[in-house]
């Protein structure tokens, strides 16, 4: 079997076109996203600039707040408070990781949950679990959209999530469970990973270990979603899955790059537009 390639770029583009229409319908309201970038981390700078460009292309107002890594936690919390009260801002994102002297929990909890377009606030995490209007974290929600686009219904399937981060692994399992999948969580300390992954109808690899998932780890016809963003010895971007091996055995697979990556920013735009719609109701 040769797998169908799940093309994240294409799905992201289609979703962005739909978002353009929704933005037009908002008429007098321009969706606004505030991004706070602290310090000089090169990866964070690149992500933030990609997020800003994506906003511009769609007609979302984006406000960048750059702060030195010497900023105090209380100064940062004050800025978040101002953004919570700013009517032109519908989404607030504080780019992670933060400098060591700033508490991530305090910062995330300071964001008004109705503007928490990352979906990291405990209120949104709770609503993801218990139901109710919430923002879902962008990467796992983007994966759900990719599955939907390819008519892959998680209902009754065994989904194995490899990774347990707050940003991807944990919410991923919950979203799949909400769609009636049977969910198993594995992670970097799981012994005998293969025992679990070989039973998976859907594998989500989100552990950050290059080529961890090989053909031996999957069963024939599995759907393989690769969230990994690693670099090989030549500095080339690669995932957690050995793509060339696994594509021979899987029924559908995401490449890296061009798979999950483009969906993450799209879902940030999606949440920002959704937030502006809620504010304009």
Min. distance of Cβ 195 from ligand GUN in angstroms?
Answer: 30
Q: Please report which residue ranges of the chain form alpha helices under DSSP H.
A: 8-25, 42-58, 73-84, 104-110, 122-130, 138-149, 169-178, 193-197, 243-246, 260-280
The count of chain residues that interact with ligand GUN, using the rule CB under 6 A, is: 7
- Whether 51 is a known active-site residue: answer yes
Q: Does 272 bind ligand GUN (CB under 6 A)?
A: no
Among 15, 138, 206, 246, binds ligand GUN (CB under 6 A): 138
- Whether 40 is a known active-site residue: answer no
Min. distance of Cβ 250 from ligand GUN in angstroms?
Answer: 26
Among 96, 106, 177, 215, binds ligand GUN (CB under 6 A): 96
Among 167, 193, 263, 276, binds ligand GUN (CB under 6 A): 167
Range in contact with ligand GUN (rule: CB under 6 A) among 65-73, 94-102, 204-212, 238-246: 94-102
Q: In this chain, which residue has its C-beta nearest to ligand GUN?
A: 96
Burial call 213-240: b when 16+ CB within 10 Å, e when fewer: beeebbeeebbbbbbbbbeeeeeeebbb
- Whether 87 is a known active-site residue: answer no
Min. distance of Cβ 77 from ligand GUN in angstroms?
Answer: 16
Among 3, 12, 76, 93, binds ligand GUN (CB under 6 A): 93
Rounded Cα distance between 221 and 227, Å, is 19
Q: Does 33 bind ligand GUN (CB under 6 A)?
A: no
Other C-beta atoms closer than 10 Å to the C-beta of 27 total: 8
Residue with smaller CB distance to ligand GUN, 138 or 241: 138
Strand 182-186 to 158-162 pairing: parallel
Rounded to 10 degrees, the C-alpha dihedral 99/102/107/108 comes to 60
| DSSP bridge pairs for 181 | none
The pair of three-digit structure tokens given for residue 14, joined into one six-digit string: 């289609």
What is the set of active-site residues? Answer: 51, 95, 118
């Amino acid at each position: 079997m040769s797998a169908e390639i799940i093309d994240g770029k294409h799905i992201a583009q289609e979703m962005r076109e739909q978002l353009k229409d929704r933005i037009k319908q908002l008429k007098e309201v321009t969706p606004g996203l505030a991004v706070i970038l602290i310090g000089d981390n090169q990866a964070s700078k690149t992500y933030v600039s990609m997020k800003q460009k994506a906003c511009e292309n769609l007609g979302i107002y984006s406000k960048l707040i750059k702060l030195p890594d010497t900023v105090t936690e209380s100064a940062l919390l004050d800025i978040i408070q101002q953004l919570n009260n700013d009517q032109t801002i519908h989404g607030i994102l504080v780019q992670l990781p933060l400098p060591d002297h700033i508490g991530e929990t305090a910062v995330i909890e300071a964001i008004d949950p109705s503007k928490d377009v990352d979906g990291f606030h405990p209120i949104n995490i709770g609503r993801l679990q218990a139901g109710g209007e919430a923002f879902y974290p962008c990467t796992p929600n983007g994966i759900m959209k990719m599955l939907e686009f390819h008519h892959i219904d998680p209902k009754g399937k065994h989904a194995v999530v490899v990774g347990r981060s707050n940003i991807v692994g944990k919410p991923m399992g919950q979203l799949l469970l909400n769609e009636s999948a049977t969910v198993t969580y594995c992670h970097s300390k799981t012994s005998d990973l293969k025992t679990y992954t070989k039973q998976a109808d859907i594998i989500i690899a989100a552990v950050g270990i290059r080529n961890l998932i090989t053909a031996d780890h999957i069963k024939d016809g599995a759907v393989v979603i690769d969230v990994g963003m690693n670099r090989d010895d030549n500095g080339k971007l690669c995932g957690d899955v050995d793509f060339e091996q696994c594509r021979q055995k899987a029924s559908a697979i995401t490449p890296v790059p061009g798979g999950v990556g483009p969906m993450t920013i799209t879902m940030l735009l999606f949440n920002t537009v959704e937030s502006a719609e809620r504010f304009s109701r």
